Structure 1
């Protein structure tokens, strides 16, 4: 290759590298902006959750001051907390209808008809 061709190739490489660096810089800036927004969102979520925890702790303290037994105290005395799902399932198990086979129905019918 001639000296002129090498200079031309070098110029093209410099321009290509410049474009690549500019694109990389744009991507990094976009990622930094996104991370800063995400940081703010997480801080807001954290503040909200802290306020909920504080609220629940205050409610628990109020309940304790009023003499309401805690869940662990109920369990110590043999009481279980109300669970609507478990209660529903227990009710359904106790209240299951009795199903008979058709053969048993015919047997009962034949016994009654033959008398």
Structure 2
């Protein structure tokens, strides 16, 4: 049995209308899903039932898709009033003037680098030369200023090193004097000890004989002789 062509008008029967809505809604969701997969497109579908119930489908994020739609409509559906057209024309002219200035700056830059001088006149070459001389003068002044700051910094660093060296030298001299005093005290103690051992009351036996060979004696002590 061949189905008849459905007339595109509101279904009067509430039950038939609800059945048709459910069937076609599911088919619409399926078609949206297939379209997003097969064609790799961003799809967002929003449906409200007669009772206000929400049905939705989105291939990514429905909020992002809605925001994208709003941005697109703001850009392409902006009303072109005479004032807006005048502003657009003015912006175009400013852009053109800016591009001309950029071209002039690029040309001047190349000439300062020594490029594209073939079409320059004598006067223009002299102006370029004077400009370069002024630039070199400014660069030299700045270089001298930087060198001066570096020299001052090195001088301050040198003063700090000299002060540190002086402090260490004084500390070393103090340590050396203290060490010398300790050595002197040790030498005095050793001399005193040696003097105590070498007093006159101590006698040492020697091999010295006084007198003729027959009568020589060996001195042992000041009060004792041996024949």
Displacement of 1:15: 0.5
2:166 counterpart residue number: 43
2:190 counterpart residue number: 67
Structure (1 or 2) with the greater helix fraction: 1
- Distance (Å, rounded) in 2 between the aligned partners of 1:18 and 1:4: 21
Larger radius of gyration: 2
CA deviations on 1:26-52 (whole Å, 9 max, x unpaired) are: 111111110111001001100000000
Q: Which runs of 4+ in 1 moved over 2 A?
A: none
State the secondary structure of the residue aligned to 1:28. helix
Displacement of 1:5: 1.3
Unmatched segments (≥5 aa) in structure 1: 69-115
- Distance (Å, rounded) in 2 between the aligned partners of 1:10 and 1:29: 29
Q: Mean alpha-carbon deviation: is it higher for 59-68 or for 17-26?
A: 59-68
2:132 counterpart residue number: 9
TM-score between both structures, scaled by the size of structure 1: 0.56
1:25 corresponds to 2:148: yes
Q: What is the root-mean-square deviation of aligned Cα atoms in Å?
A: 1.3
1:56 counterpart residue number: 179
Unmatched segments (≥5 aa) in structure 2: 1-123, 192-227
TM-score between both structures, scaled by the size of structure 2: 0.29
> Size of the alignment, in residue pairs?
68
